[in-house]
Structure 1
């Protein structure tokens, strides 16, 4: 296993790593029975694709606009006529998104050994509300967002936001994500990396590998001795 003894800070992606975005599927099912899981997966995949596209075009689109555009396309492709009120309710649900069951205990243990940060593409205010709603806000030293640099992951500039905001040498910051593209982007940038592989999904085959793979944050705390 990779030696993490030089690591002093952990930078977490938030949605899909700590915040359980698939919890939104149940909200969709209430209005569109049987559509929740498929729609939310398509919506998130479209968000990711739009992040990649706007990054390659060097044409930044604010997060709120991007997520709404992705929502509209996903709804169209899913043949769902979504009322504006429900769309707004679903998008706003990010602020009260529940965390994974392992998050509170795992973060509590990790915070006893490391400085914890969030490095997200979402807005800082949205993440603060989600953290406070789940009583995990006290574990974090700060929230960093790529919106500050008008970029999206997995571009290198997105991870520079974390490096600059935390203020430690690169090798002392370990990046943690539940998303394969994000783990590999941070690995390419030069961070030590941990992939929280929650759903048994395959790693993108791009010639890079995370330094550690765990199933959840409590397992991560166990491995790191926190």
Structure 2
């Protein structure tokens, strides 16, 4: 069955969360890559921890706190880099292939949506900066339900919003845990395995694994 809608995760899938650290590597010093990895890891960890506690904090707040922890862990990185790195989330780079892939899906008549833990303001800024605002039809943010992936309430926003059964949705994410949550919900899932990682959720396998988004249009 041809999907009625193509839903994409944002961070790590369409947008490169480590682009800022690479761009400012000379100013950040030798721990730039390690700081960026810890920042991302804590950003996600905090979302899950607060969700389990029932203590909602929006994704921007968690992004700030995660960076503060990473900076404290790597004192070699200048503290003044905090502003530059946080600003990067409002001007975050998309992966090179993203515009052409979305153009191709759009040309086929596909409906395209974003489903992310990010705040609506963060996502709108990233989409506009990347020039994707004419390609993405809808943006679904965790803010709307005060829950984080992999809570089914996130994925249900799509089926409720479009009045579709889950199997009519093709969901693309570079985050394996996100793919597992979407598969458990009933979406058709595509794991964009950019780093050739080993699988870790065998009970909720993706329908397709790709090394990037480049060939998605051939399999869609």
Q: Could you tell me the TM-score, scaled by structure 2's length?
A: 0.92
1:125–1:176 CA distance, 2 compared to 1 (3 A)? same
Distance in 2 (alpha carbons) for counterparts of 1:206 and 1:51: 23
Partner of 1:148: 144
- The alignment partner of 2:113 has SS state of strand
Q: Deviations over 1:129-159 (max 9, x none)?
A: 2222222221111111011111111111221
Q: Deviations over 1:23-66 (max 9, x none)?
A: 11224423222222111111101111111111221211121211
Preserved contact between residue 39 and residue 66 of structure 2 (Cα < 8 Å): yes
Partner of 1:112: 107
Residues 1:164 and 2:169 are matched in the alignment: no
Gaps of 5+ in 2: none
Gaps of 5+ in 1: none
Preserved contact between residue 196 and residue 213 of structure 1 (Cα < 8 Å): yes
Q: Deviations over 1:90-141 (max 9, x none)?
A: 1121121111111111111112231000001112222222222222221111
Aligned equivalent of 1:175, options 168, 171, 174: 171
- Alpha-carbon shift at residue 216 of structure 1 (Å): 1.6
Instruction: For 1:1-226, list aligned pairs within 5 A.
Output: 5-80=1-76, 82-83=78-79, 85-113=80-108, 114-224=110-220
- The alignment partner of 2:218 has SS state of helix
Deviates more, 1:168-177 or 1:114-123: 168-177
Aligned residues: 219
